[in-house]
Structure formats: C-alpha cells, structure tokens
Structure 1
Amino acid sequence: MSYRLFLAVAFALPLAAAQAADCPSLLKEQGHLQKLRSKTDLDLCSLYAGKPLLVVNTASHCGFTPQFKGLEAIYQRYKGQGLEVLGVPSDDFKQEADDSAETAKVCYGNYGVTFNMTQVQSVRGDAAIPLFKGLAEQSGQAPRWNFYKYVVDRQGKVVAQFSSMTKPDDPELQAAIEKAIASQP
C-alpha cells in the first residue's frame, strides 16, 4: 500500500465513523433510496446531517404539482444558508407517473428542479420508507396528500409540518425554514 493511500484510508475511516455518529436517527438506515433518473443511492447522512431540510412528498399528476416551481424558489433562496430540499415522488395517492422517466421530465424538464429527488417511494403506512415513518412519528402526522411538507432542523428534528394546501411562499412555511436554518447542529 502506498503512503498516500495509507493516509487517505487512515484519515477517511475515522471521519466517516464520526459523521455516522453525528447522523440523526431520522436520516439513518434508509436502505436502498435511489436518486431519480439515476442508479445512484442517496446517503441521507452524508447529504443532510447537520443541515436544515425541507422534505416533500410529490406527485407528477396532481393539482399541487405546480408547487415544484415554488419549492425550487425556496431552494434557490435558502441554499446559501445551508437549506436542502428533498422531493420524494409517491404514488400512494394514485397521482404519480408509472414511468420514472416521465416523473423526471415533470420535475426537471417542466419545473427546472435542481434539488434532490428520489425514485418513487411509499410515504404512508407500513410500506412507507423509514424517512417518512420517522417524519410521521416525530410530527404525529403522515402525509395526508401529495406535497405535504416537513421542515427538519439541523439536529434532525421535525420543527414544523404543512399541508398540501400550504404554498411554498407561505410566510409560516418560510418562518419555519428560517427557524430550522438558525438552529445549531
């Protein structure tokens, strides 16, 4: 083993262990959560630990689908302050495309989304992915419809939840995001 490789491994392993220890339980053990339009797994701990996060379950064929534009505006407005947005397409309410390419076209092509989107996932009940089980447990509410919004602080705690009716530019949602941004890791 070369000296450079040895140093890389020697310093990377403790750093990875420290990052894993600092990862809130909400983001751990997500299993096989792939990025939309990709075979790349999303490691929620490495992407979002210590960062404020807005998590939204989405659907491509819903009356609330135009909220993608507002969600992207939120992301652009606050990403410099550390905010991350994660969109999770779901067909739990029977309004998601059958094809992930169509879902990607709606998100990326029609609305110009630049924040991370996952492949289609279940967000309610026993079939829900661990992230949404944790969001429901912490907040006391699973998504009631598409575009349900959860604001998570830097410690991985849900600080607010908002119904589908809440538009991304709503002052209460923006205040909750700002509160999450101001939280300390």
Structure 2
Amino acid sequence: MPQPVSPPPWTLHTLDNQTLRWGDLHHNVVLVVNTASACGFTPQLAGLQELHTRYAERGLVVLGFPCNQFGRQEPGDAAEISTFCQRNYGVDFQMMAKIEVNGPNALPLFDWLKQQAPGLLGSTAIKWNFTKFLVGRGGQVVRRYAPNTPPKALIADIEAALAVSAPD
C-alpha cells in the first residue's frame, strides 16, 4: 500500500472566488477533472454528478476545473460556466476557477498530478478535456484516467479508495 504523503500547501479557488485549501482534503478521496462546457465529453458532467451524489457522504470530493486549452471549448466566464453546469447537468459538486493544465501557467496541482500519474507511454501532458485523477486519502494519487473513460468506470477504484481509513 502506498505511504501517505503530506498534502501540498496549495490554495485553490472556486468559480465563486472562494478559497479551498488542498491540505483540507487530506482525509478525503478526491476526483480531480479538467472540464469544458463545449466538448464532446461534456455529458460526463452528469456522470461526475452521479458519483458526487452517491459517494460524497462517504468522503468523495469531486473537483471540476474548467480549462480552455483544448479547442477553446471553455470560453465562458465564471458565471457562464456555473450556470451552464447547473442548468444542463445539475452540477452541485465543487467547480473551481478556470485554469490551465499544461504549460508555464499550469496550476501547480495539475503539474503535481501529472508527475504522480503519467499518461500513456509516460507522457505527462494532459491531452484533452475530462482527464481525471483519483487521489486517495492521505494524498497519494491512485490513478489517472483518459478523457474517454466514463465516470461510472471509476466506481470500483473509488469504492476501494473510500474503504481505506483516513490517515491520522
């Protein structure tokens, strides 16, 4: 079993400009996803919401990070993104401020996730919207999932991660 790691001291920002400290999620299982409102994978928001509804009480936190780096498929501002996600998919999991996932302006959380769980053939770059990272209690990255992996395919890994006791 992977050893727990100290959570990085990042401060993240929500769409409504609230702060969320990554370290405060240390006892949760966290699903991190880069999202976009105008992508062919956007309907996955419904599946992510289903995971949130089903597992939030057991400690799953779903964090959606809008990103406009792939085909400019997230051009909206915070209010537009929030309204779109709620109106079309009933999203009430935490949507974060729009960020970049690759390049010099990438959110440090994503740089860390990419290093912890490289993609196919060891690539660290995120290739498209809806790349998913599952982080276990204590901060260890459990797995990276491709954009075309539907949220329901993560259920076994989420349940296994939730079954692990939170570190002290």
TM-score range, shorter chain: 0.7 to 0.9
Higher RCO (CA 8 Å, separation ≥ 6 residues): 2
TM-score, normalising length: structure 1: 0.79
Q: 1:128-143 alignment to 2 at 5 Å?
A: 128-140=106-118, 141-143=124-126
Q: 1:91-102 alignment to 2 at 5 Å?
A: 91-93=68-70, 94-102=72-80
Paired residue total: 157
1:68 counterpart residue number:
45
1:14 counterpart residue number:
none
Structure 1 segments of 4 or more deviating over 4 A?
Answer: none
2:35 counterpart residue number:
58
CA radius of gyration, larger in: 1
In 1, are the aligned partners of 2:34 and 2:66 still within 8 Å (CA)?
yes
1:88 counterpart residue number:
65
CA distance in 1, matches of 2:57, 2:19: 24
> What letter is aligned with 1:78?
Y
1:159 counterpart residue number:
142
1:34 aligns with 2:17: no
Return 5+ residue gaps in structure 1 as ranges: 1-21
TM-score, normalising length: structure 2: 0.87
Q: Name the % identity.
A: 42
CA distance in 2, matches of 1:100, 1:136: 25
> What letter is aligned with 2:36?
A
Superposed displacement of residue 123, structure 1: 0.9
1:117 counterpart residue number:
95
Larger helix fraction of residues? 1
* CA root-mean-square deviation: 1.7
CA distance in 1, matches of 2:26, 2:94: 15
> What letter is aligned with 1:175?
A
